[in-house]
Structure 1
């Protein structure tokens, strides 16, 4: 298997698990079910939907209890599922890349949210920036 597809599968597994705990979860799940349904079998796609929902429940419970090992295991498991999908259907790689770019909050070009809060008293100054900041005082 091509090294790029292996890296895509690893990144996809990690992104899927990350997205399980976000507002983008339903879109992520639906996109994955669609990809798996295009791999051949409608019953397989239904099974994937159930497995994704169960994995999300496990992830949320693990995060509540501070169980980092479960989250790592889920990432590995979904990376493996994505790798097997891409072995079977390498033509789905571009669709998977596009879906991840659209849904993954860490993807290049995705909007970022910045929340800043500061207080100053007396003659104190506060300088805040969401990105670059240049201050010239004279």
Structure 2
């Protein structure tokens, strides 16, 4: 599979899961369901139910402070979209259009940044969620 389609699937999976907990959820869900319908996938009928179940899982996980579930959901939806694009690469332009329409909603969605680093042997780790200025003397 082409690297651009893999990145598109990754972006779609992250976007869908991010929007599950926002006011834009219904638009996101409807766009993804319509994508499966246009693709003529045999799973088109079950995608809406799977999305709703994933949303319930996400909201419960957030209530419980379970960040791992959110990442698992992103990975799961990335895989589903990737498999759909493998079957029907011609619908990539439709998916891109849906993501562009949803982009302002993603920008307004709350973000969670997870960073992990490990240093050994006198090594240093510098991490930042945004700007970082280091002045060592």
What range describes the TM-score normalised by the shorter chain of this pair? 0.7 to 0.9
Report what 1:36 is aligned to: 36
Report what 2:125 is aligned to: none
Report what 2:46 is aligned to: 47
Taking the TM superposition and a 5 Å limit, the aligned residue runs for 1:11-22 are: 11-22=11-22
Judge conservation of contact 1:19–1:104 (CA < 8 Å) in 2.
no
- Structure 2: state its 5+ residue gaps: 110-137
- Which structure has more relative contact order (CA 8 Å, sep 6+)? It is 2
Report what 2:91 is aligned to: 92
Distance in 2 (CA, whole Å) between partners of 1:24 and 1:44 is 23
**Is 2:44 the partner of 1:69?**
no
Compute the displacement of 1:50 (Å): 0.2
- Structure 1: state its 5+ residue gaps: 114-138
Report what 1:27 is aligned to: 27
Compute the displacement of 1:106 (Å): 6.6
Distance in 1 (CA, whole Å) between partners of 2:60 and 2:27 is 21
Compute the displacement of 1:38 (Å): 1.6
Report what 2:104 is aligned to: 105
Distance in 2 (CA, whole Å) between partners of 1:76 and 1:105 is 22
Alignment length (residue pairs): 109
